[in-house]
Amino acid sequence: MEWVNSIVQGVLLGGLYALFAAGLSLIFGVMRLVNIAHGDLIVLAAYLGLTTTIALGVHPLASLMIVVPAMAAIGYVLQRGVLNRTLGDDILPPLLVTFGLSVIIQNGLLEVYTADSQKMNAGAIETASLEVAGGISLGVLPLIMFATAVAVIAGLQLVFYRTALGRAFRATSDNQDIAQLMGLNKAHVFGLAMALSLAVVGIAGVFLGIRTSFDPAIGPGRLIFGFEAVIIGGLGNLWGTLAGGIILGVSQNIGAQIHPGWQTLAGHLAFLFVLAVRPRGLFPRIEG
């Protein structure tokens, strides 16, 4: 029973990892950019949530109303101001610039918030749970997070395949020059893609901050989880990314069940295993 329970909890955890991953997957799909600072931006969002909660005295989930638009704005400005200038045939500039950004965000957070670990208190909802058959109980909060993750993925899918914005994303991803000929300003399109990516990061960050304690140094770890979910699921497939997140979450929980020190390690090993047997992920769609 313990095993079934840890697998079920792992599935729910996978939703959070899918949220870490969705933004990463989105911008890679649109502009082939891998944002090394992605994890640190998640942590930044968690701190923004914390500050909003304290300053306005609102529930952490309500802070999403502020954090999500704020992160989207940061994303747009970051893309137009800095990242657009790094895009081109050479993969080194975007990699190194986002790497520099990662160091800046980490140390900036350290200056402002110190290295102390923080957590957002969501009140009674944190301990609330639903009793399911067989003695398994599902936390209400993890359930909300998982449902949100599914909704976010579905929403992104809808935007991508059913709206003018998504059409612009796909066209620009296919051929930047020809997309320009259609009157699309790629600098703006990329800015919107990053804004959307960081809006998702905003949700992920607030959820992270409610679920666990966080400090300025944990960003790279979140980047790696998100990255693993993307690769396990297969590049360019958002539902695959959700599946990847779930596989990662379940692997980690099974690892932890065997030995407490093996939680993260088991996730990494699952990733390396998938890489060994299915190098293009389980549900690939686009070429890396």
Tell me which of 71, 201, 224, 238 binds other proteins, using CB under 8 A. 224
Distance CA 221, CA 265 (A): 12
Instruction: Enter the tokens of residue 209.
Output: 């901050």
Q: Which is nearer to other proteins, 8 or 34 (CB)?
A: 34
Per CB under 8 A, 155 contacts other proteins: no
Tell me which of 195, 198, 223, 238 binds other proteins, using CB under 8 A. 223
**Site map (CB under 8 A) of other proteins, residues 46-85, x = contact:** ------------------------------------x--x
Per CB under 8 A, 180 contacts other proteins: yes
From 5-13, 32-40, 60-68, 193-201, span contacting other proteins (CB under 8 A): 32-40
Tell me which of 59, 275, 282, 284 binds other proteins, using CB under 8 A. 275
Q: How far is the CB of 126 from other proteins (least distance, A)?
A: 28
Tell me which of 55, 110, 130, 158 binds other proteins, using CB under 8 A. 110
Residue where the block lists tokens 């996978």: 14
Q: How far is the CB of 120 from other proteins (least distance, A)?
A: 24
Q: Which is nearer to other proteins, 142 or 234 (CB)?
A: 234
From 13-21, 54-62, 191-199, 219-227, span contacting other proteins (CB under 8 A): 219-227
For residue 138, give Cα distances in angstroms to 129, 172, 180, 198, 277: 5, 42, 49, 29, 33
Angular region, 51: left φ>0, alpha ψ -120 to 50, beta rest: alpha
Q: How far is the CB of 260 from other proteins (least distance, A)?
A: 11
Per CB under 8 A, 282 contacts other proteins: no
Tell me which of 65, 69, 99, 213 binds other proteins, using CB under 8 A. 99
Residue 124 is classified by DSSP as G
For residue 155, give Cα distances in angstroms to 15, 25, 125: 14, 14, 25
Instruction: End-to-end CA distance of the chain: give it in Å, rounded.
Output: 40
Task: Write out the DSSP string of 68-96.
Answer: HHHHHHHHHHHHHHTGGGG-SS-SHHHHH
Sites of contact with other proteins (CB under 8 A): 32-34, 36, 82, 85-86, 91-97, 99-104, 106-108, 110-111, 164, 167-168, 170-171, 173-175, 177-186, 220-221, 223-224, 227-228, 231, 259, 261-262, 264-265, 268-269, 271-272, 275-276, 279, 288
